[in-house]
Structure 1
Amino acid sequence: MSTSTILITGGAGFIGSNLCDYFLQKGYTVICLDNFATGHRHNVAPFLSNFNFKLIEGDIRDYSVCKHAVDGVDFVLHQAALGSVPRSIKDPITSNEVNVSGFLNMLVAARDAGVKRFIYAASSSTYGDSESLPKVEDVIGKPLSPYAITKYVNELYAEIFSRTYGMETIGLRYFNVFGRRQDPNGAYAAVIPKFVMQMMKHESPVINGDGLYSRDFTYIDNVVQMNELAMLTTNPEAVNTVYNTAYGDRTTLNQMVHLLKDYLSVYDSSIGTIPIIHGPNRVGDIPHSLASIDKAKRLLGYAPKYAFADGLKEAVNWYWQNLK
């Protein structure tokens, strides 16, 4: 399989660059498509000298760019998107253009190029106002944000393309992914890298709400594993569907912050005394998130290697070594 060519859209982003790194090490030819709106050049800089790596700077909203990028490609790992619930609430038009129109451009381009399989980043936000726990793939609620709508529309388009054109598609509903290379800066930074950076600066992190909201935080290596399994599966029952991509356990924000303090205190003992501030709940947030990973285990052979605490320790070590 290392003779195959993989297109990774959003390949300069957090998840995309980790996928580029992994599959280059496996000997694949990797094409990265990114417009650097949220991705970073330093994430792909180490790959530029690799003969098997190609960087295309372009925007998935431009169909001609998508068509060029899929030429000669065997698999697409579509990570390109504008993430963040708050960003989508502030600017739903741009989120829709990138996440829906851009997604459709990629689907059409992949279909016309005869790509073997189209694996895409779906989202746990699709579960919306469903209160059932754990989250099971075929039980969803109504979306709670424009972002959630766009990610659900992706699933609907993928299903139609599978039925109508015979494309093989697999959606991976990511649950609060974290780990190395996740950007701690900017207005829409994810909670873990943002809190790590604040604590390293001896600033108090602000938890939205009372800290009892919980998430199925998922370490990046588990997500890479799921992408590889989705790409390589030969089980006909395993394609043209969606999977929760998570660890299958939940952690409250309070628990997460206490662990962060513990791990960072190894490097700087004064971090353990930093006070935590609680602010109002964030609009569009769901109270609790917990994935059932039974389907992925059964159909893909998924066996996540990193529990939350283990992954968090790895992430903290990476941030301290690279960003301090």
Structure 2
Amino acid sequence: MARVAVIGSTGHIGSYLVPRLAMDGHEVVAVSRGNAEPYLAHRAWDSVQRVHLDRDALEKDGDFGKAIAELKPDVVIDNICFTLDSARQLAEALMGRVQHFLHIGTIWTHGRSEVVPTPEDVTKRPFGEYGVQKAAIEAYLLDLGRREQFPVTILHPGHIVGRGWAPLNPAGHFDTSVFTTLARGERLTLPNFGMETVHHIHADDIAAMLIDAMRNWSSAVGESFHVVSPAAVTLRGYAEAMSRWFGKEPDIAFMPWEEWKHTQSERNANATWEHITRSPNCSIEKGRRLIGYAPRYTSLQAVEEAVRWLIENKRLDI
């Protein structure tokens, strides 16, 4: 068993990953800022070493990578790296000191979908600060692996779903009123013809794939993998499925984008634009073939669990 440092241990992925690692017998060092508790309570947290580090503050002084290295981990899992400078500082500090480094990327490194399902190894044309930075991180880490034998594996999640937060909804943003509309059987208007796609992933499936990568080290090192559900969903199909899940017949209307965006808040319209201009639809064949990736949740099953949590915790007005 390994000593595993998890950076971002109490967030979306870490809340599911840390208990899985501990239950597998690993010695887990849970690194976070200490500002939040995990989304899910689990007895496995009792056996976990918790370390509070302010990444932003330490990186300004060039000390974050050193702080992680001083924990003497065999494996480092970085859930919350968003810039090339941040990735470089950590990787340089860990060079020659870890057996495995796992980085969480994003399917937004692809930019707009060109071939679907999109494989990992197509030419990438990202846009927007987030996608561009994540693509630069991926290129840097994989190059470091090839040139310096840095033992890196990169996982690219889709839209992360789980108990404890609102999922990306059928309108392509995060306003829970969309689910309220569907639950009440009221009309939901979608942009265009609702044929753009979104691709969810349950946070626990990401946690499971990280462990699959650790177990299949020789096949995982030097590779990047999509970690998404078995199939993307169209906005229209997503809305209709959720209507029926609430026991209602779908009442879905459509409106051209230029008109639709003016019916939304600026924040919601911007979020929808970011998602539908990409319309991700990613392949998981490489992960299945090389490390046995087998997600438990479809996109809809993941969303249903998250929405059920919202209802149970009175976060959704239906």
TM-score of the superposed pair, with normalisation by structure 1: 0.77
1:49-198 equivalences under 5 Å are 50-59=46-55, 62=59, 63-70=62-69, 71-81=71-81, 98-111=82-95, 114-181=97-164, 183-184=165-166, 190-191=168-169, 194-196=174-176
One-letter amino acid of the structure 1 residue matched with residue 225 of structure 2: Y
**How far 1:247 moved relative to its partner?**
2.1
Going from structure 1 to structure 2, the CA distance change for 1:276 and 1:5 (only over 3 Å counts) comes to: farther
Alpha carbons 2:11, 2:39 under 8 Å: kept? yes
Distance 2:251 2:76 in 1: 44
Cα deviation, residue 229, structure 1: 0.8
Q: TM-score, normalised by structure 2?
A: 0.78
- Give the distance between the partners of 2:78 and 2:18, measured in 1 at CA: 12
Post-superposition CA distance 1:117-155 (Å, at most 9, x none): 111111111111351111111113311211111111111
| CA 1:110–1:315: 2 relative to 1, 3 Å | same
Query: Does structure 2 conserve the Cα–Cα contact (< 8 Å) formed by 1:128 and 1:140?
Result: no
Structure with larger RCO (C-alpha < 8 A, sep 6+): 2
With over 3 angstroms needed to count, the CA separation of the structure-2 counterparts of 1:173 and 1:206, relative to structure 1, is farther
Secondary structure in structure 1 of the residue aligned to 2:145:
helix
1:299 paired with 2:290, answer: yes
Partner of 2:264: none
Preserved contact between residue 130 and residue 141 of structure 1 (Cα < 8 Å) = no
State the shift of 1:190 in Å.
4.2
| Structure 2, gaps ≥5 residues long | 262-268
Q: Identify which of 213, 225, 228 aligns with 1:243.
A: 225
Report the Cα offset of residue 210 of structure 1.
Answer: 4.5
The separation in 1 between residues aligned to 2:5 and 2:141, in whole angstroms, is 17
Q: Note the C-alpha offset of 1:246.
A: 1.3
Distance in 1 between residues matched to 2:27 and 2:253, nearest whole Å: 46
Partner residue in 1 for 2:239: 257
Cα distance in 1 between the residues matched to 2:293 and 2:311: 30
- Greater shift, 139-148 or 50-59, is seen at 50-59
Point out the structure with max Rg over C-alpha: 2
CA distance in 1, matches of 2:309, 2:16: 13
Deviation of the 1:168 alpha carbon: 0.8
Cα RMSD (Å): 3.2
Q: What is the match of residue 19 of structure 1? A: 17
Equivalent pair of 1:6/1:76 in contact (CA under 8 Å) = yes
Q: Does 1:315 align with 2:299?
A: no
Hey, what does 1:92 align to over in structure 2? none
The Cα offsets for residues 233-266 of structure 1, whole Å up to 9 and x where unpaired, read as 14x3432011111123121122223333443x36
Residues 247-294 of structure 1 show CA distances to partners (whole Å, capped at 9, x for unaligned) of 23121122223333443x36xx8xx89988963364444352211111
CA distance in 1, matches of 2:104, 2:189: 28
Provide the rounded CA distance (Å) in 1 between the counterparts of 2:177 and 2:101.
35
User: 1-side partners of 2:113 and 2:207: how far apart?
Assistant: 27
Q: Secondary structure at the match of 1:226?
A: helix
Stretches of structure 1 lacking an aligned partner (at least 5 in a row) = 82-97
The alignment status of 1:232 with 2:215, answered yes or no, reads: yes
Q: Distance in 1 between matches of 2:250 and 2:228?
A: 31
Corresponding residue of 1:93 = none
Map 1:17-56 onto structure 2 (within 5 A): 17-35=15-33, 40-41=36-37, 43=39, 50-56=46-52
Q: How does 1:268-287 map to 2 (within 5 A)?
A: 279-280=260-261, 282=270, 283-285=273-275, 286-287=277-278
AA at the equivalent of 1:64: D
1:196 is displaced (CA, Å) by 4.0
Structure 1 residues 312 and 109 mapped into 2: Cα distance closer, same or farther (>3 Å)?
same
Q: 1:194 is matched by which residue type in structure 2?
A: F
Q: How far has the Cα of 1:11 moved from its partner? A: 1.6
Aligned-pair identity (%) = 20
Whole-angstrom distance in 1 between the partners of 2:198 and 2:168: 12
Amino acid at match of 1:41: E
